[in-house]
């Protein structure tokens, strides 16, 4: 405190105080964590919590897992809890880039989770481990190294999220974007740019693909009257196809002012070449173009908003 008083007595106190404040603000900066760290920490806590929990898979023990996703667990828990299996590279595709969300989501009896943020991964992975039913937890490897903000509440060992419940990732009023996993990233990028064009996007993070949270989508559509689904999987029989079908079969259909549209991966086998792969997967520009097409009569919405605002202000003036 004496140092602060001395600073204020100095002619240069404002500059010095600003420097001091910047250090303080860094000390209280928002905590961040990578998806990789989140997954390791969640598995560690659940293995420690319940002696029945174990990890089994290719190279998960001594090698610390592909992408180092089980780093340190074998050394901590040993061969009986962290178990390596034989390796086989025979699969359903030559590359590892395909999105199999739809494949798993079609199976009755399975619960399918597709998280985006560190909060999603931590809360839903712990919920999946504790669930008595079989759960498929889908991770996108491009997100492993990405930093996400995380709260002290989320870092609690007892923090879990309910399976089957989505989240409003961004509030908006002109159009609803529905996505999961890495699709949220391009939705948020698109929404930021569309905001410059006075198009306010509401973004729904599905979190779980089966069971699907229909209510959160229907509630949003009744507010925005427009819908675009975004996914990295193929369009044929995709997640977007399913959720749009459900909306068209529900009372929310009557609230739509335009046909719902889909943004998805190209309906072609995914190429090995990086340029072709990039052009086969949806980008923020694809979302922007689709949203603009879906809201091409958006001026009507803006006029309604304006009239409603004027009406509310006039009522307030009358009361005054």
Q: What's the CATH number where 124 sits?
A: 3.40.50.970
Q: Cis link prior to 88 (omega < 30° from 0)?
A: no
249 plus 288 within the same structural domain: yes
Kindly indicate the confidence band of residue 314, based on its pLDDT and cuts at 50, 70 and 90.
low
Is 17 a member of any domain? no
Residue 16 resides in a domain: no
Same domain, 188 and 139: no
Domain match, 223 and 138 both: no
**Quick check: 63 and 57 in contact, CB under 8 A?**
no
pLDDT at 313: 56
Same domain flag for 176 and 135: no
Nearest alpha-carbon partner for 166 in 124, 194, 122 = 124
Q: Is residue 106 located within the same domain as residue 188? A: no
The range of the structural domain enclosing residue 37 comes to: 32-85+99-149
Per the DSSP assignment, residues forming a β-bridge with 208 are 113
Same domain, 195 and 227: yes
22 is a domain residue = no
Four-CA torsion 212, 215, 216, 218, nearest 10 degrees: 110
Q: Is 41 among the domain residues?
A: yes
pLDDT at res. 66: 87
pLDDT, tens digit, 9 for 90 and up, residues 20-51: 334 444 444 589 999 999 999 999 999 999 99
Query: What is the 8-class DSSP label of residue 257?
Result: S
Give tens-digit pLDDT for 123-141: 999 999 999 999 999 999 9
* pLDDT given for residue 98 in this prediction: 82
**146-191 residue pLDDT tens:** 999 999 999 999 999 999 999 999 999 999 999 999 999 999 999 9
Instruction: Give the Cα separation of 167 and 8 in Å (integer).
Output: 47
Half-sphere exposure in the Cβ direction for 221 (13 Å, CA) = 27
Residue 26 lies in a domain: no
Cβ atoms of residues 232 and 197 within 8 Å: no
Question: How many domains is the chain partitioned into structurally?
Answer: 2
Residue 176's CATH number = 3.40.50.920
Q: For 57-91, how does the pLDDT look when each residue is reduced to its tens digit (9 = 90+)?
A: 999 999 999 899 999 999 999 999 999 999 877 65
């Amino acid at each position: 405190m004496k140092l602060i008083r001395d600073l204020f007595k100095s002619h240069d106190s404002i500059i010095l105080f600003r420097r001091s404040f910047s250090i303080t603000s860094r000390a209280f900066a928002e905590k961040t964590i990578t998806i990789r760290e989140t997954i390791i920490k969640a598995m560690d806590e659940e293995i420690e919590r319940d002696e029945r929990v174990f990890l089994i898979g290719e190279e998960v023990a001594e090698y610390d897992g592909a992408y180092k996703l089980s780093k340190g667990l074998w050394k901590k828990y040993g061969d009986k809890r962290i178990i390596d299996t034989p390796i086989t590279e025979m699969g359903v595709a030559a590359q590892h880039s395909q999105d199999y969300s739809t494949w798993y989501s079609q199976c009755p009896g399975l619960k399918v989770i597709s998280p985006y943020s560190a909060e999603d991964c931590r809360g839903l992975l712990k919920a999946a481990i504790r669930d008595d039913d079989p759960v498929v937890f889908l991770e996108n490897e491009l997100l492993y190294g990405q930093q996400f903000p995380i709260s002290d509440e989320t870092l609690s060992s007892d923090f879990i999220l309910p399976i089957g419940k989505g989240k409003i990732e961004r509030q908006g009023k002109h159009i609803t974007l529905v996505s999961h996993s890495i699709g949220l990233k391009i939705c948020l990028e698109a929404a930021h740019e569309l905001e410059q064009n006075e198009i306010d996007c509401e973004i729904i993070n599905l979190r779980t693909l089966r069971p699907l949270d229909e209510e959160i989508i229907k509630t949003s559509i009744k507010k925005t009257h427009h819908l675009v689904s975004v996914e990295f999987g193929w369009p044929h029989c995709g997640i977007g196809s399913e959720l749009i079908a459900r909306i068209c079969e529900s009372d929310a259909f009557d609230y739509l002012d335009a046909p719902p549209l889909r943004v998805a991966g190209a309906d072609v086998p995914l190429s090995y070449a990086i340029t072709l792969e990039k052009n086969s997967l949806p980008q923020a520009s694809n979302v922007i173009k689709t949203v603009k097409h879906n809201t091409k009569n958006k001026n009507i919405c803006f006029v309604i908003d304006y009239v409603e605002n004027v009406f509310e202000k006039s009522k307030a003036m009358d009361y005054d």
